[in-house]
Amino acid sequence: MSNFQYRRLDKNDVAVLLVDHQTGLTNLVQDFSPDDFKNNVLALGDIAEYFKLPTILTTSFEDGPNGPLVPELKAQFPDAPYIARPGNINAWDNEDFVNAVKATGKKQLLIAGIVTEVCVAFPALSALEEGYEVFVVADASGTFNQTTRQAAWSRMEAAGAQLMTWFGVACELHRDWRNDVEGLGTLFSNHLPNYRCLINSYNAGKAAAAK
């Protein structure tokens, strides 16, 4: 028999870490188109909001070329812990950041950021070392090219991190469509044009059946 254990995301035990989604650093992201990457990051933000997941925002050296946090995330999470690291490259080296993570009381961490092999990988590896379950949101994390991305993914996977996409994250957290069709369907429709077509067709069918 296999010794594999399916470790699912549990919405009651998840915190979201958005690491260094900064205006300057977004210019380095070349493994996704600018529009696709922005959409993926904002979709992850919407997931955190929809499932009421504690969310921590952090930046590094934002007074320098990295720039400030992207304004959409700052506006979406005005009350979230916001750790402006003065220079720590690895967010886990910042005591305020680690304390904010621990204060959530959650043991599963969803991590995304820029750039993947540094700002995502370093805290992911550090959190794994401390016993957290780490889930990296691969399509809400960006870097220079696919070679550096693959190196980062391999390193994190070898250490025990699970790689996911924002769509997979949402579905695993939701578990059952009967929990809320309209809410999750709307979230997907807002970020996936093809899914909007699917939902429009579904709603049209429901309306026709109700007549």
Tens of pLDDT, residue by residue over 50-96, are: 999 999 999 999 999 999 999 999 999 999 999 999 999 999 999 99
Whether residues 34 and 136 fall in one domain: yes
pTM here is: 0.95
The helix or strand, by DSSP H or E, that contains position 196, with its residue range, turns out to be helix 193-210
Whether residues 46 and 127 fall in one domain: yes
Domain that holds residue 163: 14-175
Whether residues 194 and 169 fall in one domain: no
Q: Within 13 Å of residue 142, how many CA atoms lie on the same side as its CB?
A: 23
Tokens of 56: 């921590």
Whether residues 163 and 182 fall in one domain: no
Whether residues 211 and 141 fall in one domain: no
Q: What is the pLDDT of residue 211?
A: 78
Whether residues 133 and 211 fall in one domain: no
105 falls within a domain: yes
Residue 2: pLDDT band with limits 50, 70, 90:
confident
Whether residues 118 and 91 fall in one domain: yes
Residue 199: pLDDT band with limits 50, 70, 90:
confident
* Distances 92 to 58, 96, 120, 121 between C-alpha atoms, Å: 11, 9, 10, 11
Q: What is the pLDDT of residue 162?
A: 98
Active site residues: 119
Q: What single DSSP character describes residue 28?
A: G
1 falls within a domain: no
The stretch 33-47 carries a mean pLDDT of 98
Whether residues 112 and 184 fall in one domain: no
Whether residues 137 and 183 fall in one domain: no
Tally of CB atoms within 10 A around 15: 22
The total of structural domains in the chain comes to: 2
Whether residues 28 and 98 fall in one domain: yes
pLDDT surpassing 80 at residue 1: no
pLDDT digits 0-9 by tens, 133-191 = 999 999 999 999 999 999 999 999 999 999 999 999 999 999 999 999 999 999 999 99
162 falls within a domain: yes
Measure the N-to-C terminal CA separation of the chain; round to a whole number of Å: 53
pLDDT surpassing 90 at residue 198: no
